[in-house]
C-alpha cells in the first residue's frame, strides 16, 4: 500500500515536519530515521503495556542503525504525566550518559506523547523527539501539533510547552491490539475532526465507519488509512495555520468544553471519548439554537455518534457542579461561555456568548431519567 505523507508547515521553517502513514510502517521505520541525521543517543519512552507489546520489536528494528537505544518505561495512564515521572526519566537519561545529543522516541498513546514531548522540550534546554502514536486518539490528534503537557494535582495539562516533533510515524496496525474502549476514545476525536471541518469525511464515516470499527481485525486497511489520513491532515492544516492556539486552533475544542466538565464531575469515571461525545451532543443542540445548524443536520450528527456506540445521554450530575466546572474553564467570559458550535456539518464557528442557562436546560432535559 502506498505511503501517505502530510506536511505540517509551520512559520519557523525548522519546525515544519512530516506525518507519514502506512500499515506496517514500524517494520521499516529506520529508513525514515536515517533521513533525519541522527544524534548519538536514542531513548524510547513507552508505557508498560505498549512496551510489553511493541518495545522489544522497536529496539530490534532500531539496532539496524548501529545505536543501542535506552528504553524508558512509565506506568500506564494519566498519572504518568507528572513532574515525578519527568524527573525520574531525566535522571535515568543522565545516569546513562545521555546529553544534548539525544533523540527521544515516544512510543504510545497521548500520555506517552505529551510526557515525552514535555521532557524533550526541557531536557538540556531542548532535544528533538519523534512521535510514534499507538492509539487512534494519538494518531488523529495528540501526536500532531506540538502541544506537550504534564498534570498537577490542581488539574490536567497545567504545565506544558509547544515543542514540535521531528516527524510523526503512524502505523495503523498498532490499533489491532487497542482495547475497544480506547478505540471509542479515538473515534470521538475522529468524529469531532470531521464535524468541524470536513463534510465529506462525515459522509464517509457515516457510510462505512461503523462496519470498519466493529471489525476486530480492522480488515479494510485502505479505508482505515483513508480515515486516519483525512483526520490527521485536518489537524495538520489547522496547526499549520495557527500553531499556538489562536481562534482557528480553538475549533479543535468542539465538544470539549462541556466534555471536560462532565469528565471532571464524574471523577474521571466517564471515558474521555464518552465525555467528548456528550459535549458534542450538547453542542449540536446549541448549534441549532445559536449558529444556524439545521435540525436535520443536528440529527444526522447525533445518529453518527449513536452509530459508533457513543453516549448521547449524560449521567445525572448537579447542573451547578457542571456550571462551576465550566466556569473554571480557561475559556470563561463572564456569565457567558465560549463554545465551538457548527454552522453546518463540516463547518465550525466560535460562539463567544453562550448563556449558561442553555447548558443547564440541555442537562436537565437530556440527563438520564429525563426531567
Ligand X SMILES: NC(=O)c1ccc[n+]([C@@H]2O[C@H](COP(=O)([O-])OP(=O)(O)OC[C@H]3O[C@@H](n4cnc5c(N)ncnc54)[C@H](O)[C@@H]3O)[C@@H](O)[C@H]2O)c1
Per annotation, catalytic residue among 245, 306, 327, 344: 245
In this chain, which of 85, 102, 121, 135 binds ligand X, going by CB under 6 A? 135
Spatial separation of the C-alpha atoms in residues 4 and 336, rounded to whole Å: 42
Question: Minimal distance in Å, beta carbon 231 to ligand X?
Answer: 12
Does position 141 interact with ligand X (CB under 6 A)? The reply is yes
Note if 260 is an active site residue. Answer: yes
Farthest CA pair distance, the chain: 65
Note if 189 is an active site residue. Answer: yes
Nearer to ligand X, 47 or 274 (CB): 47
In this chain, which of 23, 55, 69, 108 binds ligand X, going by CB under 6 A? 108
Question: Minimal distance in Å, beta carbon 2 to ligand X?
Answer: 23
CA torsion through residues 128, 237, 211, 293, sign: positive
Is residue 267 classed as helix, strand or coil in its secondary structure?
Answer: coil
Note if 28 is an active site residue. Answer: no
Beta strands in the chain (DSSP E): 4-8, 17-21, 41-47, 70-74, 102-108, 129-133, 147-152, 155-162, 167-170, 332-333, 336-344, 347-355
Note if 147 is an active site residue. Answer: yes
Note if 57 is an active site residue. Answer: no
Does position 123 interact with ligand X (CB under 6 A)? The reply is no
Note if 4 is an active site residue. Answer: no
Question: CB atoms < 10 A from the CB of 106, how many?
Answer: 30
Spatial separation of the C-alpha atoms in residues 271 and 29, rounded to whole Å: 32
Contact 165, 129 (CB under 8 A): yes
Closest listed residue to residue 255, CA positions, set 328, 307, 347, 192: 192
Per annotation, catalytic residue among 163, 235, 250, 285: 235
Nearer to ligand X, 39 or 160 (CB): 160
Strands of the sheet with 336-344, listed across from one edge? 332-333, 336-344, 347-355
What does the CA dihedral 43, 48, 49, 51 come to, rounded to 10 degrees? 30
Does position 137 interact with ligand X (CB under 6 A)? The reply is yes
Q: Give the interface segment with ligand X, choosing from 58-66, 85-93, 104-112, 200-208 (CB under 6 A).
A: 104-112
Nearer to ligand X, 51 or 314 (CB): 51
Note if 92 is an active site residue. Answer: no
Active-site residue set: 125, 147, 189, 235, 245, 249, 253, 256, 260, 272
Residues that bind ligand X (CB under 6 A): 47, 49-50, 53, 76-78, 81, 108-112, 114, 134-135, 137-138, 141-142, 145, 147, 156-157, 174, 177-178, 182, 185
Amino acid at each position: 500500500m502506498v505511503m501517505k505523507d502530510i506536511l505540517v508547515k509551520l512559520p519557523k521553517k525548522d519546525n515544519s515536519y512530516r506525518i507519514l502513514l502506512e500499515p506496517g510502517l514500524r517494520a521499516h521505520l529506520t529508513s525514515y530515521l536515517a533521513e533525519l541525521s541522527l544524534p548519538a543517543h536514542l531513548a524510547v519512552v513507552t508505557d508498560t503495556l505498549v512496551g510489553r507489546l511493541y518495545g522489544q520489536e522497536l529496539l530490534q528494528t532500531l539496532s539496524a542503525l548501529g545505536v543501542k537505544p535506552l528504553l524508558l518505561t512509565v506506568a500506564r495512564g494519566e498519572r504518568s504525566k507528572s513532574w515525578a515521572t519527568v524527573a525520574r526519566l531525566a535522571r535515568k537519561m543522565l545516569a546513562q550518559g545521555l546529553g544534548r545529543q539525544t533523540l527521544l522516541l515516544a512510543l504510545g498513546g497521548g500520555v506517552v506523547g505529551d510526557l515525552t514531548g514535555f521532557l524533550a522540550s526541557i531536557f538540556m534546554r531542548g532535544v528533538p523527539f519523534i512521535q510514534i502514536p499507538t492509539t487512534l486518539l494519538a494518531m488523529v490528534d495528540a501526536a500532531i501539533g506540538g502541544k506537550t503537557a504534564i498534570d498537577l494535582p490542581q488539574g490536567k495539562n497545567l504545565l506544558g510547552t509547544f515543542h514540535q516533533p521531528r516527524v510523526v510515524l503512524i502505523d495503523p496496525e498498532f490499533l489491532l491490539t487497542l482495547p475497544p474502549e480506547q478505540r471509542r476514545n479515538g473515534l470521538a476525536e475522529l468524529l469531532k475532526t470531521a464535524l468541524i471541518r470536513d463534510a465529506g469525511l462525515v459522509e464517509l464515516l457515516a457510510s462505512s465507519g461503523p462496519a470498519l470499527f466493529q471489525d476486530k481485525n480492522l480488515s479494510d486497511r485502505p479505508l482505515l488509512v483513508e480515515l486516519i489520513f483525512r483526520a490527521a491532515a485536518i489537524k495538520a492544516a489547522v496547526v499549520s495555520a495557527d500553531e499556538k492556539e489562536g481562534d482557528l486552533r480553538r475549533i479543535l475544542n468542539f465538544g470539549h468544553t462541556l466534555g471536560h466538565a462532565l469528565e471532571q464531575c464524574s471523577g474521571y469515571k466517564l471515558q474521555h471519548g464518552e465525555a467528548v461525545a456528550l459535549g458534542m451532543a450538547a453542542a449540536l443542540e446549541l448549534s441549532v439554537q445559536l449558529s444556524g445548524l439545521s435540525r436535520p443536520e443536528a440529527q444526522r450528527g447525533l445518529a453518527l455518534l449513536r452509530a459508533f456506540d457513543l453516549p448521547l445521554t449524560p449521567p445525572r450530575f448537579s447542573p451547578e457542579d457542571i456550571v462551576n466546572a465550566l466556569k473554571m474553564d480557561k475559556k470563561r467570559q463572564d456569565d457567558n461561555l465560549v463554545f465551538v458550535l457548527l454552522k453546518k456539518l463540516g463547518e465550525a464557528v466560535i460562539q463567544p456568548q453562550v448563556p449558561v442557562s442553555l447548558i443547564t436546560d440541555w442537562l436537565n432535559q437530556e440527563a438520564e431519567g429525563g426531567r
